[in-house]
Amino acid sequence: MTGEPLISLRGITKVYGSGPTAFQALKGIDLDIMQGDFVAVMGPSGSGKSTMMNILGCLDVPSAGTFRFRGYHVENLDRDQRALLRRKYLGFVFQGFNLLARTSALENVELPLLYRGDQRAERRETAMQALDRVGLRDWWDHTPGELSGGQQQRVAIARAIVTNPMVLLADEPTGNLDSERSIEIMEFLAALNRDSGITILMVTHEPDMANFAHTIVHFKDGLVDRKEEGKRAGRAG
């Protein structure tokens, strides 16, 4: 992880509302994320971590400051350009899995490829490869209701990586799982980061899960409070 940062934030602020009721969620974030890093973002509710993740995921825009991705100024992009950046470079994993209930694992994983306009045969083959990467190739025809929580999250991860994103953004990916399944998912994410070189940005409230990351960034009152190294980084797998 040398050279220029993949992501560089300078003076990022975010204000909601105006006048006396305005709320400043971010108060001037400076943060560099190198390609291939695994970053865990922690902090109490209201600390700004979710706001920052929304900006990094191109789901929201900063009120001020510069946001560079691969050297490009994201803060200057319009809505369509940000959507294109999301489709081409980013994958998302959520706490609630966000799988379609009456749809097979394979069809859930195919969705980003469907939106991209891939042909059916190519879509199916690529989605099966993604399921294979998460160890669920033999479960391709099962619906979410026929899968465990850990398996559902692995399907969600397969859907996130099926387009070969450069960055994976994970919002509390173990929040709905028991401790055993949580460790399973974190070990898989750590291996994905190590073996595929995908940069991972993860929000979590759980220190044990954050310790799988290389870098832990602590947020407090809309600012980066401190950074530290994850205690289990590089040991998974």
- Whether pLDDT at 54 is above 90: yes
Average of per-residue pLDDT across 174-180: 88
Distance of CA 159 to the CA centre of its chain: 12
What is the sign, positive or negative, of the torsion defined by CA atoms of 226, 59, 131, 140? positive
Average of per-residue pLDDT across 63-76: 95
Could you tell me if residue 127 is inside a domain?
yes
Number of domains in the chain: 1
pLDDT tens sequence across 194-225 = 999 999 999 999 999 999 999 999 999 999 99
Is the distance from CB of 67 to CB of 74 less than 8 angstroms?
A: yes
pLDDT tens sequence across 127-158 = 999 999 999 999 999 999 999 999 999 999 99
C-alpha–C-alpha distance, residues 45 and 25, integer Å:
11
Could you tell me if residue 6 is inside a domain?
no
Could you tell me if residue 123 is inside a domain?
yes
DSSP state of 139: G
Could you tell me if residue 15 is inside a domain?
no
Could you tell me if residue 7 is inside a domain?
no
Surface-to-core class of residue 129, CB atoms within 10 Å of its CB (0-12 exposed, 13-18 middle, 19+ buried):
middle
Closest CA to 189 of 217, 153, 216, 218: 153
Could you tell me if residue 14 is inside a domain?
no
Can you tell me whether residue 204 is helix, strand or coil?
Answer: coil
Q: Average pLDDT of the chain?
A: 92
Confidence of residue 89 (pLDDT cuts 50, 70, 90): very high
In this prediction, residue 235 carries a pLDDT of 47
Could you tell me if residue 64 is inside a domain?
no
Token pair 């400043």 in the structure block, residue: 24
DSSP state of 100: -
- Domain CATH for 126: 3.40.50.300
Closest CA to 116 of 83, 139, 81, 145: 83
Confidence of residue 236 (pLDDT cuts 50, 70, 90): very low
Could you tell me if residue 11 is inside a domain?
no
Average of per-residue pLDDT across 66-86: 94
Residue 72 structure tokens: 């490009």
Distance of CA 138 to the CA centre of its chain: 26
- Whether pLDDT at 66 is above 60: yes
Residue range(s) defining the domain that contains residue 90: 35-59+80-229
- pTM over 0.95? The answer is no
Most confident of 18-22, 43-47, 198-202: 198-202
C-alpha–C-alpha distance, residues 62 and 68, integer Å:
12
